[in-house]
Amino acid sequence: MAPRKGSLVLVDAERVKRWGALAVVEVRVMTYLKYLPALLSVAIANPFLYLLAVGVGVGKLINTHSGGVDGVKYLTFLAPALLATAAIQNAMDETVFPTLEGFKWHKNFFAMNATPISGKQIVNGVLVAAMSRVLFSVTVYGIIVYLFGGFTSARGWLSILTSLAAGASFGAFIMGIAAWAKNDDSFFMILGRFVMMPLFLFSGTFYQLSTMPIYLRWIGWLSPLWHTTELGRFLTYGHHITALMFVVHIGYIAAMFTFGITFSHRQFERRLTK
């Protein structure tokens, strides 16, 4: 076997080829650590202020006049949806912005791909790193919900698991869309106004989906937020869903993740080989 020469003395190409996704994760996590004080401040301030205004302020009125929602106090009803929303928002931020940066703003994905790191490994690395941010944010959110009295049983912490499922499925899918998008200005406008806002308002977040007009319920049916919120409410306080719907919810999230990660792999490979 010929002796290794040049950069191969310093870099094990086979190791990079095998564990390239972990190299991408390392880069992303090191970036997070640079902004850890800011990330921690946002992770604490956002849920604290939101729960103070909606969960406690509005919730007190609902509890007083209606006795809560779905047989529990309003904050308990709201908590799984808020955690899932936070997971989806963080997953979107940590997949969309790195993707646009990697392909358009700084083009660092092309530099990564010039090494043995493949497009699929870049996708996997970005998504795993994004999920580490999601886990951090949702855990902090869960602690604050607990301090506000939103978890009425030890099972309340299971909503963190359903939130992670929401973040993974949405992040895997939206990353492929971001890789496909050519105009980032219109992309952000469409994403904010016609995707995130309807998901937040019409996915049974603040009230049960069954109370909405039938012509708006389809938004919830297509939303990963509604499916994970329903699972979260079932697991945390016993919200009633049929066995069939339990399977449908899990199947929808699994299918969205599978389609999303496959779609992202193809989009990254296509764009990196252009």
How confident is the model over 24-36, as pLDDT tens digits? 999 999 988 888 8
- End-to-end CA gap in the chain: 35
The runs of H, that is alpha helices, within 148-242 are: 158-180, 184-190, 197-201, 214-221, 224-237
| Distance between CA atoms of residues 80 and 145, nearest Å | 10
Is residue 70 very low, low, confident or very high in pLDDT (cuts 50, 70, 90)? Answer: confident
Residue with tokens 């602690």: 143
Sequence-distant (6+) residues with CB within 8 A of 172 are 95, 127, 256, 257, 260, 261, 264
How confident is the model over 188-199, as pLDDT tens digits? 777 777 778 888
230 with 204: CB under 8 angstroms? yes
Threshold 0.75, pTM exceeds: yes
Q: What is the mean pLDDT of the segment spanning 1-26? A: 68
Q: How far is CA 204 from CA 17, 59, 176, 216, 223, in A?
A: 44, 16, 26, 11, 10
86: tokens are 């936070």
